[in-house]
Amino acid sequence: MPEPQVINHPLAHCHLSRLRDKTTPSSEFRQSVKRLAMLLAHSATVELPTTVVEVITPLETTTGQQLSTRIGLVPILRAGVGMVEPILDLIPTSEVWHLGLYRDEVTAQPVHYYSKLPPANPVDIAFVLDPMLATGGSACMAVEALKKWGVTNIKMLCIIAAPEGITKLRDAHPNVEIHTCVIDRGLNDKHYICPGLGDAGDRIFNT
């Protein structure tokens, strides 16, 4: 069971501080989400397999590397959409598949309302994208959907994680790697992460 990978980097700390600040406007909030998503992608991709290819430079022929696996980005709607663009910039060959999940405010249980996963031909590696890993319910449901599709290598990328969500995801799916920028104190009685940053989706989309 892999331990959660926490990014301990000055840039991550600085951008995270801007996310937490309640006075940060949505435009800056979105930019900080993108920058942190890029740092998370760097953490999650250090062991991606590559193959050697021939490269012809303006001066001579040499060798290089290219990715040898199909990678799927799976944002959990709606907040996860804010993490797609920077990772797609880093890995332009990635496929993007959407999952619609939301947390019932009364029961705190996830509700699966939309899936764009095809019935066959799964990707080799899937990155589940969601700024917040709170109760872990939505993350577990997303991983279950990906496993049913046939994906065997799944990584969870979240900006902030709560211990409760980490425990739930690791208990249900111990082989899923978790990459996060910080592990916060825990959940309050409304199942929000504290100190957290509020509702990531509302702040990304200015709603």
Average pLDDT over residues 36-50: 96
Return the amino acid letter for 145. A
Q: How far apart are CA 161 and CA 132, in angstroms?
A: 6
Question: What mean pLDDT comes out for the span 101-126?
Answer: 80
Identify any residues that bridge with 85 across adjacent strands, giving them in sequence order.
none
Is-catalytic flag, 130? no
Q: Tell me which of 18, 70, 78, 199 is the catalytic residue.
A: 199
If one counts the domains in the chain, the total is 1
Q: With a cut of 90, say whether residue 78 has pLDDT above it.
A: no
Residue 38, pLDDT > 80, answer: yes
Active-site residue, from 24, 30, 103, 124: 103
Cα separations in angstroms, 140 against 63, 73, 134, 199, 206: 41, 16, 11, 20, 27
pTM over 0.95: no
Catalytic residue among 57, 61, 107, 207: 107
Domain housing 195: 5-205
CB 155 within 8 A of CB 44: yes
User: How do 193-194 and 186-187 pair as beta strands?
Assistant: antiparallel
Active-site residue flag, 103: yes
CA distance 21 to 130: 19
DSSP H stretches of helix in 9-136: 10-20, 26-44, 84-90
Confidence band for 106, pLDDT divided at 50, 70 and 90: low
Identified catalytic residue from 21, 104, 171, 202: 202
Q: What is the CATH number of the domain that holds 36?
A: 3.40.50.2020
- How many Cα neighbours within 13 Å face the side chain of 124? 10
Taking only the tens place, the pLDDT of each residue in 133-166 is 999 999 999 999 999 999 999 999 999 999 999 9
Taking the CA atoms of the chain, what radius of gyration do you get in angstroms?
17
